[in-house]
Structure 1
Amino acid sequence: METFLIYLFKASILLSTFYGVYFLLLRKDTFFTINRHFLLVGIITSILLPFIEFTTIKFIENPVFYIKGTPLSASENVIPETLNWWLIGSILYGLGILIFLSRFGLQLLSLKKLLAHHQSRKKDGFNFIEVAQDIAPFSFFNTIVYNPVLHSREELDMILKHEKIHVQQFHTLDLILVNLLLIFQWVNPFAWLYKKNLEQNLEFIADREAINQMTSRKEYQLTLLKVSSNNYSTITNNFYQSLIKKRIVMLNKQSSQSKKLWKITVILPLLSLFLWSFNTREVVRVKQDIKIDQNASENIVIQEKEGKIIEFIVDKSSSKEDLNKVKNTLKNDYSLEVKFSGIKRNDAHEITSIKVDISSKKGTTNYAISNDTPINSFVIIYNSETGKIEIGQSRNNSNYVWVVDKDSKSKKGKTMKIHTGDKKNEYIFSDGDHKDIYEIHTNDNKTFAYITGDRDGEPLIYIDGKKSTKKEMEKLNSDTIEMMNVLKGKSAIKKYGDKAKNGVIEIIIKKS
């Protein structure tokens, strides 16, 4: 809903911009047909232009976005309840739509009932309906409704010529379009003024065309002043409008000079300003690799690449507030439903078990991890362009295969540093208190780093559910890997038996 409200805000700005140009520069001119087209273009533009987005590319070096935090106590981990103003605004806006949509529907039903209960007479492509009610003559598509008793023969002839212009130029379509627009922009005061001015301009058009078919301009104006009645509906073209004085003034106004048409072009720079201000998205591209420090105590890392990929890294210290940040971001910005459940923490408030369920219009994804010890970090990856969701072991986790570009160096011990490029960006991997030995192997210009021991033996390796070897793993191209997962301790033994006491590396290959 938040996305729709943002769209509505942009559409309201566009419609208000067109109204401002019309009111300040065009409404006093006699270019009635051109003004009609201008107002219609304004409606269509306000509907479609918010969907158009332009992209600018900005190159930066080593962007890292950390949301840092420390483990919270149970009492500190409670998120204070606040009013959801987006929800309140959405409810109020929705109620307004319901009211005005119901009003529009009742008008259509009332009109349908009136037309259905009277016999029509067809002549020259028009449907004429004579009624006994005291209502103003009006037209709806090719049907003209009037009460012949209320008007003299001369007056009726002028009225019918006026209404025929509305029918021939399809003015009913303009009215339906602006009424539908008003339903969705009822909160925009300029939308109401827009509708009023569009209706007035349609009357100016019909008056001008009708007067050209008559011998006496004076008699037509006297008819406007003499006869008054009730308008039937806001979705019909009524001969009598409340602003009769304006119609008479425009009838007697000298035709505007064509050189004044330049004023219409004022809308173009204003539209450009709108696109630059609201519909330009900046895409950040990384010049070099990103420095990731596993020793930093980040709880969640959120990183967006090229406006398409967004990643959320969850680790053992992620608080309830951190998880809610992930949940709310994916829901509000990307319409994904995220549920964290089965969360267990140790005495140090570190996560030992967690389950993640994510659903979208294209499908569902889930991930679960349960240990006696604090969990290894895992990553939630969402591609906003393709809608693909992936959940797996975090690239910051040293307990599974990780891929980096360029040449690398390594050293044994608690941590491993991989230096890349002239600026020696460091990738630091730590395995807590364990003193594992790491090896570096290069294949197809990719560098693989993985654990080989000080433990009792090497972990099992499964590729697409089939037991494999370290040698086969080294041959893999990183671009073909969809997900990697590491099981250790009781989780590994429970799934694969005692043979998995040294852990298991699970690799899923992308399906072609």
Structure 2
Amino acid sequence: MENFIIYMAKASGLIAVFYLAYHILLKKETFFNSNRWFLLAGLFTAAALPLLVYTKTIWVDPVPMAETATRTVTLEQLIAYKQYQQQMAEKAAIEAAAISINWFDVIVGMYLTGVLLFSIRFVLDFLSIRRILSGNIVMKDGRFRLIDSEKARSPFSFFNYIVYNSAQLKQEELAGIIIHEKVHSSQKHSIDMMIGQLFCIVFWFNPLVWMYKRSISQNLEFIADAGAIQVMEDKQAYQKTLLKITVQPDCINLTNNFYQSLIKKRIVMLNKQQSKKLNSWKYAAVLPLLAVFMLLFQVETVAQEKQPAIELIKLPEAKVKFAVQIDKNTQDSELEESKQLLKDEYNADVKYENVTRNPEKEITAIKVTVKDKGQSQVYEVAGHQPIAPFTIEIEKNNSGRNVITFGNSIGKDNFVRAQAFRIDANGDLQDLANDSMHVQKHKIIIGSYGMDGDKMPLRSSVPLKVPEGHWSVNSLKIGDTDMLIVINGVKQKKGDAIKLPLGQEIAELNMVKAKEAKKKYG
């Protein structure tokens, strides 16, 4: 619907361009036949040009991307994620059920109502012509069909039919009128009138379209007047016939009527000196406006990424691991929630048995069984002291099967796999993955190390060394860094950890050298 409104607006604008060009530059010229084709061309151009779209392709540099490593999601994060999904589903359902006014539907209804009313009027005009043509004697005059009818309040022509009321006219007046209408009929002016009427139906809301149709009708009268004068011997008698009735009678929109309003303009054009051929340049005046229209509205720009000019650096294949943490304070409701989450995400069946709590409602004993397609893993703790935190970890291996393990608690943010790089003095990239790392000194999370420098029992990447000079580590908050990181075109805040939505992975890392980076990002 939105595209249809845009189309109608563009077409209406083009109709205005042609109408103003005719009204300002061509209306007073005697190029009547050329004006006829100009006005018709304006309608068809307005209908067709908005449908023509020129596609322009621009080449852009690829967006730098980096590949992440394994992410561990805790039970709290999983619960929050599921709640978010449920909230979004409920919100969408509420919005769909809400009763609101769709203004597009209102506009469509109003537009179609107008089209229907004017279409009915179009059909009634045909029926009026049929009533006049039927039941009367038809006299053949070559290819023309002459009908003398008392029903005709004004002489008119419709294709090969010429209708008049001889009782209202003198013989010399009737002869001039028939010559005039024969010009209309021989040049198929009824087609012009029908085209103009159809555009008035489609663009009924645009007042310029009705004025445009009126200009078409007036120009056709100029053509018929000029043709009649070339045949008639008495030019003055013809002009007196035009002046006989100065008040326009009722007429049918689809016909060419002899008596039109603005009789004075017709007489002025009859006596006007022929325009100079040099004035034909005015027809070309509309071309620059059409070119501007195409450049402003009909050029669609499509961006296409260039092939990377530098080598693409691939990090280890990313995976997502779910880790459900259970500690002494985990509630029964949270245990049930974790069972459902692991069932939904990995189709794994989890059973909690022998759950024992002390008077402080802390868990002192528990047995956990995780089953999945022929495999079963059991973790059991028994005693009188509160249990130590542990995790149920599930991830898919390369074959697509689940790998189920139990481990010590990893907290919410301590499981990180990373790749470190160093920019040397020449602006080249150095991979530091094979060096060792001074964890106690720098207190950062890389590989299997924690914030406090103690090793964590996690499967992780190899240790890394923090070198001297300019360096940065993906997925870590390390204070001030000298490397700008851009994800999907968005610059990351300097010094902040890179956070990815649950379930999303970064495919690849594109390292840009200093000069190229400065040129691209400033």
Interval containing the TM-score (normalised by the shorter chain): 0.5 to 0.7
Matched to 1:35, the amino acid is: N
Question: Tell me, what secondary structure is at the counterpart of 2:204?
Answer: coil
Q: CA offset at residue 116 of structure 1? A: 2.2
- Given that 2:144 and 2:162 are in contact with CA atoms closer than 8 Å, whether structure 1 keeps it comes out as yes
Deviations for 1:314-358, whole angstroms, at most 9, x for unmatched residues? xxxxxxxxxxxxxxxxxxxxxxxxxxxxxxxxx99xx99xxxxxx
Change (3 A) 1:62 1:141: same
Q: CA offset at residue 255 of structure 1? A: 1.3
Change (3 A) 1:259 1:423: farther
- Given that 2:157 and 2:181 are in contact with CA atoms closer than 8 Å, whether structure 1 keeps it comes out as yes
Change (3 A) 1:119 1:287: same
Change (3 A) 1:291 1:83: farther
Q: CA offset at residue 401 of structure 1? A: 10
Deviations for 1:425-462, whole angstroms, at most 9, x for unmatched residues? xxxxxxxxxx9999xxxxxxxxxxxxxxxxxxxxxxxx
Matched to 2:48, the amino acid is: L
Say whether 1:240 aligns with 2:212: no
- For 1:273 and 1:401, the matched residues in 2 are separated by 59
- For 1:255 and 1:401, the matched residues in 2 are separated by 88
Deviations for 1:76-100, whole angstroms, at most 9, x for unmatched residues? 6644765322221111111110111
RMSD of aligned Cα (Å): 4.0
Specify which of 115, 129, 140 is matched with residue 97 of structure 1. Answer: 115
Q: CA offset at residue 163 of structure 1? A: 0.2
- For 1:149 and 1:76, the matched residues in 2 are separated by 77
- After superposition, residues 300-339 of structure 1 pair within 5 angstroms as none
Aligned residue for 2:446? none
Say whether 1:218 aligns with 2:190: no
Listed as ranges, the gaps of 5+ residues in structure 2 are 66-80, 319-335, 348-394, 401-414, 422-427, 431-457, 462-522
Aligned residue for 1:261? 280
Q: CA offset at residue 193 of structure 1? A: 0.8
Question: Tell me, what secondary structure is at the counterpart of 1:166?
Answer: helix
Change (3 A) 1:398 1:11: farther
Aligned residue for 1:88? 106
Matched to 1:115, the amino acid is: L
- For 2:343 and 2:180, the matched residues in 1 are separated by 82
- Given that 1:231 and 1:238 are in contact with CA atoms closer than 8 Å, whether structure 2 keeps it comes out as no
Q: CA offset at residue 18 of structure 1? A: 0.6
- After superposition, residues 78-477 of structure 1 pair within 5 angstroms as 78-79=94-95, 82-227=100-245, 230-288=249-307, 372-373=344-345
Matched to 1:15, the amino acid is: I
- For 1:292 and 1:147, the matched residues in 2 are separated by 91
Change (3 A) 1:372 1:160: same
Q: CA offset at residue 231 of structure 1? A: 3.7
Question: Tell me, what secondary structure is at the counterpart of 1:122?
Answer: strand
Q: CA offset at residue 416 of structure 1? A: 9.2
Q: CA offset at residue 27 of structure 1? A: 0.5
Change (3 A) 1:285 1:167: same
Change (3 A) 1:76 1:172: closer
- Given that 1:231 and 1:241 are in contact with CA atoms closer than 8 Å, whether structure 2 keeps it comes out as no
Matched to 1:14, the amino acid is: L
Aligned residue for 2:59? 59
Matched to 2:56, the amino acid is: T
Greater displacement, 41-50 / 82-91: 82-91
Matched to 2:33, the amino acid is: T
- Given that 1:55 and 1:282 are in contact with CA atoms closer than 8 Å, whether structure 2 keeps it comes out as yes
Change (3 A) 1:150 1:72: same
Matched to 2:344, the amino acid is: D
Q: CA offset at residue 130 of structure 1? A: 0.9
- For 1:401 and 1:196, the matched residues in 2 are separated by 76
Aligned residue for 1:45? 45
Question: Tell me, what secondary structure is at the counterpart of 1:145?
Answer: strand
Q: CA offset at residue 196 of structure 1? A: 0.6
Q: CA offset at residue 60 of structure 1? A: 1.6
Deviations for 1:157-215, whole angstroms, at most 9, x for unmatched residues? 00000000001111000000110011001111110110011100000110111011122
Q: CA offset at residue 48 of structure 1? A: 1.5
Matched to 2:7, the amino acid is: Y
Q: CA offset at residue 43 of structure 1? A: 1.1
Change (3 A) 1:64 1:128: farther
Q: CA offset at residue 22 of structure 1? A: 0.4
- For 2:195 and 2:397, the matched residues in 1 are separated by 61
Q: CA offset at residue 398 of structure 1? A: 8.9
Question: Tell me, what secondary structure is at the counterpart of 1:223?
Answer: helix
TM-score norm. by structure 1 comes to: 0.56
Matched to 2:60, the amino acid is: I
Matched to 1:372, the amino acid is: D
Q: CA offset at residue 149 of structure 1? A: 0.8
Aligned residue for 1:26? 26
Matched to 2:279, the amino acid is: K
TM-score norm. by structure 2 comes to: 0.55
Larger-Rg structure:
2
- For 1:253 and 1:291, the matched residues in 2 are separated by 80
- Given that 1:414 and 1:436 are in contact with CA atoms closer than 8 Å, whether structure 2 keeps it comes out as no
- For 2:152 and 2:198, the matched residues in 1 are separated by 28
Structure having the higher strand fraction is: 1
Count of matched residue pairs: 323
Change (3 A) 1:89 1:374: farther
Q: CA offset at residue 9 of structure 1? A: 1.6
Question: Tell me, what secondary structure is at the counterpart of 1:373?
Answer: helix
- For 1:399 and 1:186, the matched residues in 2 are separated by 66
Q: CA offset at residue 242 of structure 1? A: 1.4
Q: CA offset at residue 63 of structure 1? A: 5.1
- For 1:174 and 1:105, the matched residues in 2 are separated by 17
- For 1:371 and 1:116, the matched residues in 2 are separated by 82
Deviations for 1:41-74, whole angstroms, at most 9, x for unmatched residues? 1111112212211111111223599xxx975747
- For 1:235 and 1:291, the matched residues in 2 are separated by 73
